[in-house]
Structure 1
Amino acid sequence: MVTPADVTPTTAPARKLLKPVGPTGGDLPRIVPRRRPGRWAASVVALLVLALVLDSVVRNDAFQWDVVGRYFTTTAVLDGLLLTLWLTGAVMALGFLLGIPLAVMRLSGNPVLSSLGWGYVWIFRSTPLLVQLLFWFNIGALYPTLGLGIPYGPQFLTVETVNLLGPTLTAVVGMTLHEAAYAAEVVRGGILSVDSGQTEAAQALGLGKLRTLRRIVIPQAMRSIVPTAGNMLIGTLKGTSIVSVLAVHDLLYSVQLVYNQTYQVIPLLLVATLWYVGVTSVLGVGQYYVERHYARGSARRLPPTPVARLRARVTALRPPPRGATPAGTDPRLGGDR
């Protein structure tokens, strides 16, 4: 006959295993995140190198930061900056206006249009931008006059090329034709990124090709177009400095005119560099929010903005109130999930 004394020793471990886990964690060990000393050491070294570089730049008298501050907002520099911004906006707008029809031509089922679009992209992507600008600047040697009239017949309007294409207009024409070739490929790649089922569904609903392209394909293709177009915009902003070879008074040429008189080359180049960095940073912020706008519908939740990320990090660093369970923890395990 089994007595209660014989049962107690064998059932005690079972009672211990069936003991409920309380809010304080019970007998289970606390789960802690893995320590990464190598990552912290690399961060310290990187910050130390950055501090040394910044210290060498700020405290180096050869940079002449007082001269940089004196010329940073002068009239000549600001006029050059305005021309650079105007040239960037005009080239991008005209480049995409020409690039969209070229992209449609390349995607066309008509072999003639497709071949012409491919030929345009091939020619203008195969030659350097500087060569194209110099070619258009000397176009008067090939075509002294341009006329409007009947082919091989009388001309109703005749204009001399030398008087028509000045340095600024030459820069706009040359950069626009060059930019259109890249814009065509960007738009074509964006259109091809849209699933063909979208077009088939639009055709099943009786929508025409133009309306399908404008209302269905292009809005979805913008998710692929905007990042590359943003890079093109920043590249065009910096690429406008090449028009200084045509004596166009952009930002770089205006700075060159100043340091040719004062012989203060380094500080004046720093003025141009800081303006390029500032404008590029603003364009990068704008590109981020445009990408975020066109990301709607592709995910359940939009990615948080930098301000929202910073606010979340600050909130995570604050100590939780007494009695509250920290976010990301499981009270049943007594630690992180």
Structure 2
Amino acid sequence: MRTEPIADPSGALVPVARTRHWGRVLSAVAALAIFGWLVFLIVVNPRLDWGAVATYLFNERILAGVWVTIELSVLATVLGLVLGVLVAVMRLAHNPVLSGLATFYIWFFRGTPVLVQLIFWYNLAFLFPALVIKIPFTSIGLMWDTNQVMTGFTAAMLGLGLNLAAYFAETVRAGIQAVDHGQTEAAYALGMTPAKRMRVIVLPQALRIIIPPTGNEFISMLKTTSLVYVVAGHDLMTNASQIYKSNNMIMELLIVASLWYLLLTTVATFLQGRLERRFGSDAVRLVRRGGVAAKVLPKVPA
């Protein structure tokens, strides 16, 4: 065993033996061996055409699907966040009707699978063949054919966004409730209305709690868009499945789709980390003056 001398109280050097953790070494070697074996089996598998993977990796239809996946993820996340904030505020309202409706919304959309919701929106024409907006007691209005409006992309955006709003609502509610109650009392003392108090005082401070799970939801949304293939939304998974149905290269196209999903989630994770660091440095700073740490909150508009 290796020893490193240390000094005892008398100044003499005393050798100290370091314990070797053989269990850690053996478990690490075993894990690497199993992982390497699995990778080797996949790489050298004669039934897998890596040339086709390289060919389709930048295929025009695959790249178009990647772009649609990004669009769906961004639009659904924005829709879910905006609606989630509204539902969270309703959930915390003193009005029992608004609070009850918000609770029902969260219960319903969290309790039904995303896949069912996507199929429902895509087949909305069975219930409403036409979408009509009409001014009450007049003949003035607009009408659209539901089949033309509710395309695969529209159904996917609504299904994913409305479902995500239910989860965002609970995240926003937790962030709002985490704000110190003294902030609310101070806002009331200044004569602020409840709406202004929420917009100017509470929500800006709740953002530092809301942002991390929001980033996680966006990353999850990138992968959840793969369910859109059931409504032919022309996303990455839809285009990849259409290609392998025509040439029977199922595993190759699944690897191509997986590589793109890994790239998108890696970039989103990196951006999330930058956003959290940036937001944290601006929102909560420790200022040491005379050895005392003080929390400085971001300035809010008057």
The TM-score with structure 2 as length reference comes to 0.83
**Take 2:17 and 2:88, find their aligned partners in 1: how far apart are those partners?**
55
Q: How does 1:19-34 map to 2 (within 5 A)?
A: 26-27=11-12, 29=14
Which range is displaced more, 83-92 or 170-179?
170-179
Determine if the alignment matches structure 1 residue 242 to structure 2 residue 240.
Answer: no
Q: For this pair of structures, how many residues does the alignment match?
A: 281
Letter in 2 for 1:263: N
Determine if the alignment matches structure 1 residue 129 to structure 2 residue 118.
Answer: no
Q: CA deviation at 1:151?
A: 3.0
Letter in 1 for 2:247: T
**Take 2:85 and 2:98, find their aligned partners in 1: how far apart are those partners?**
13
The equivalent of 2:45 in structure 1 is: 60
**Take 1:31 and 1:290, find their aligned partners in 2: how far apart are those partners?**
46
**Take 1:30 and 1:291, find their aligned partners in 2: how far apart are those partners?**
46
Instruction: Give the SS at the match of 2:183.
Output: helix
Q: CA deviation at 1:230?
A: 1.8
**Take 1:35 and 1:204, find their aligned partners in 2: how far apart are those partners?**
64
Choose which of 75, 78, 84 in structure 2 pairs with 1:90: 75
**Take 2:205 and 2:89, find their aligned partners in 1: how far apart are those partners?**
16
Choose which of 37, 47, 51 in structure 1 pairs with 2:32: 47
Letter in 1 for 2:53: V
Instruction: Give the SS at the match of 1:295.
Output: helix
Instruction: Give the SS at the match of 2:234.
Output: coil
Q: CA deviation at 1:246?
A: 1.2
Letter in 1 for 2:280: A
Q: 1:211 to 1:63 in 2, by over 3 A?
A: farther
Which range is displaced more, 269-278 or 39-48?
39-48
Q: 1:216 to 1:58 in 2, by over 3 A?
A: farther
**Take 1:134 and 1:155, find their aligned partners in 2: how far apart are those partners?**
32
Q: CA deviation at 1:39?
A: 2.4
Q: 1:166 to 1:53 in 2, by over 3 A?
A: same
Q: CA deviation at 1:212?
A: 3.8
**Take 2:12 and 2:197, find their aligned partners in 1: how far apart are those partners?**
64
Determine if the alignment matches structure 1 residue 293 to structure 2 residue 278.
Answer: yes
The equivalent of 2:154 in structure 1 is: 169
Choose which of 208, 212, 219 in structure 1 pairs with 2:204: 219
User: Where in structure 1 are there 5+ consecutive unaligned residues?
Assistant: 1-20, 302-337
Letter in 2 for 1:235: S
Instruction: Give the SS at the match of 1:62.
Output: coil
The equivalent of 1:252 in structure 2 is: 237
Letter in 1 for 2:103: W
**Take 1:219 and 1:41, find their aligned partners in 2: how far apart are those partners?**
50
Q: How does 1:76-87 map to 2 (within 5 A)?
A: 76-87=61-72
Which range is displaced more, 38-47 or 233-242?
38-47
Which range is displaced more, 208-217 or 49-58?
208-217
Q: 1:153 to 1:215 in 2, by over 3 A?
A: closer
The equivalent of 1:314 in structure 2 is: none
Which structure's CA Rg is the greater one? 1
**Take 1:61 and 1:53, find their aligned partners in 2: how far apart are those partners?**
15
Choose which of 257, 260, 268 in structure 2 pairs with 1:283: 268
**Take 1:245 and 1:222, find their aligned partners in 2: how far apart are those partners?**
35
The TM-score with structure 1 as length reference comes to 0.75
Q: How does 1:297-316 map to 2 (within 5 A)?
A: 300=286
Q: CA deviation at 1:31?
A: 6.2
Conservation of the 8 A alpha-carbon contact between 1:147 and 1:155: no
Instruction: Give the SS at the match of 1:29.
Output: strand
The equivalent of 2:3 in structure 1 is: none
Instruction: Give the SS at the match of 1:154.
Output: coil
User: Where in structure 2 are there 5+ consecutive unaligned residues?
Assistant: 1-5, 288-302
Instruction: Give the SS at the match of 2:144.
Output: strand
Determine if the alignment matches structure 1 residue 99 to structure 2 residue 84.
Answer: yes
Determine if the alignment matches structure 1 residue 115 to structure 2 residue 100.
Answer: yes
Whose RCO is larger (CA < 8 A, sep 6+)?
Answer: 1
Instruction: Give the SS at the match of 2:47.
Output: helix
Which structure features the higher share of strand residues? 2
Q: 1:174 to 1:44 in 2, by over 3 A?
A: same
Q: 1:33 to 1:108 in 2, by over 3 A?
A: farther
Aligned CA-pair RMSD:
2.7
